[in-house]
Amino acid sequence: MIENLPDAMLLHILSFLPAKDALKTSILSKRWRHLWMSVSNLYFEEWRPDKFVMFMNSAERAMMCRDVPRIEKFSLSSHMLNSACINALISNALSFKVQDFSLRLVYVGVPILLPHHLFSCPTLTVLNLEEVTQFPCTACLPNLKKVRLSCCLLPHQQSLLQFFSGCPKLQKLILNRCFWRDANLGFISTPMPEPVDITQLSSTTCLPDLKELELSFCLLPYGQSMVQFFGDCPKLQKLTLKECQWGLAKCLYISTPMLESLVICDATSSSGCKVVISGANIKSFSYHGDLTTTYCLCSSSIVDACIHVSSKGMIEREGREKEVAHRLHKLIMECCNAKHLELSPDTLEVCFQSIRSQLIMSLGQCFL
């Protein structure tokens, strides 16, 4: 029976429930009456605007009744109908030395500034922000190790670098469907015709401990600051690029000496940029896309490689068979030292189609 479980086990079970459901358990019995007050994880979520006032009242009550000095995880998801109430709840949560903080706000009206002490909380180790459009220029998060930003409007390139310089222990950074305020400037600026070598740029190494970086569906500005962004990750071990847009850039050089794993997906990308990735320790490489972007790997240490050319029908309709076959050939040759090479059926068909075309042309010349 659940009643025979110790309090520690019951609290662990309650920690997976939304705060309003954990609160409801107080009516079960005398033992359960105050048990919910000791839960260290709090999840608040309400998407019905007509329930916002009631939702905030119950959230404030749950925070006021805490009898534990620390909150491990705090999550808030709601419409932004009252900025003062939201900021008060955030500030209250931060006073409990929260470690894992998640915030998802859907704005109804003008976006607001989040409490500045959210970006100067010394106990934060994990930070998840979604649909946030206002960031301070500086941060002081000495123990932050993981950041995930989704659907966010990021500050200017240099401001972002300055912001991350206040997170010296950051190890994992995920940017999903984000774009920079000056991204449009990157599109209209004169593209650089040659690769930009990051070793020639001054760097303050704003992300000295970053080991994992994932960019998904991001509209990225192009310029020295963006190149420097990759250069400021000397310990980067895993890099994931999914459906990223590089603007009008013709060539980009990314050098990451400690990189071990590289994952690229650009099935819907149409940038036409040439991306050169240099890493002497790359062991694993995975590509999925239709090769609209040219990728060059400057590495002879690849052990496991997987190449999947998708959208074969689209490639044929666009008349890009020769272009894709040429890029695919170069990519496979750059993985020729791999011990394990996996090619999808579509990838093999593109290869054989190119060989077949060359063979027919050669036979035709012989016949003539």
Nearest-angstrom CA–CA distance, 290 and 277: 18
Question: Looking at the predicted structure, is the pLDDT value of residue 124 above 90?
Answer: yes
Q: Given this model, what pLDDT does residue 226 score?
A: 53
pLDDT of res. 40:
80
Query: Rounded to the nearest 5°, which phi and psi values hold at 260?
Result: -115, -30
139 against 354, higher pLDDT: 139
pLDDT at 183: 54
Task: Give the pLDDT band (50/70/90) at residue 282.
Answer: very high
Structure token pair of residue 250: 């013709």
The answer to whether residue 318 scores a pLDDT higher than 80 is no
- Check pLDDT > 90 for residue 225: no
How buried is residue 171: exposed, middle or buried, by Cβ count under 10 Å (0-12/13-18/19+)?
middle
pLDDT one-digit tens code per residue, 4-55: 666 666 666 666 667 666 666 666 666 666 566 667 888 888 888 888 888 8
pTM (two decimals): 0.80
**How far is the C-alpha of 270 from the C-alpha of 221, rounded, in Å?**
15
Strand order in the sheet with 251-255: 251-255, 274-278, 294-298
**Distance between CA atoms of 332 and 348, rounded to whole angstroms?**
11
Model confidence pLDDT, tens digit, residues 226-246: 555 666 678 899 999 898 877
Percent helix, strand and coil across the chain, each rounded to 5? Answer: 35, 25, 40
Asked if residues 350 and 314 have their Cβ atoms less than 8 Å apart, the reply is: no
pLDDT, mean of residues 267-294: 81
- Percentage of the chain with pLDDT > 90? 21
Measured distance CA(89)–CA(246) in Å, rounded: 39
**Measured between alpha carbons, how far is 171 from 31 in angstroms, rounded to an integer?**
42
**Residue 28: predicted pLDDT:** 67
CA distances 46 to 21, 87, 109, Å, are 13, 16, 18
* Contact between residue 290 and residue 325 where contact means Cβ atoms under 8 Å apart: no
Q: How much is the CA Rg of the chain, to the nearest whole Å?
A: 26
Please tell me the predicted confidence (pLDDT) of residue 98.
94
Q: Residue 288 corresponds to which tokens in the numbers above?
A: 């999925």
Whether the per-residue pLDDT at 3 is higher than 80: the answer is no
Tokens standing for 309? 């050319």
pLDDT, tens digit, 9 for 90 and up, residues 156-189 = 767 777 888 899 999 999 999 887 765 543 332 3
Of 339, 315, 337, 342, whose CA–CA distance to 327 is shortest? 315
What Å distances lie between residue 86 and 5, 79, 110, 131, CA to CA?
36, 10, 14, 15
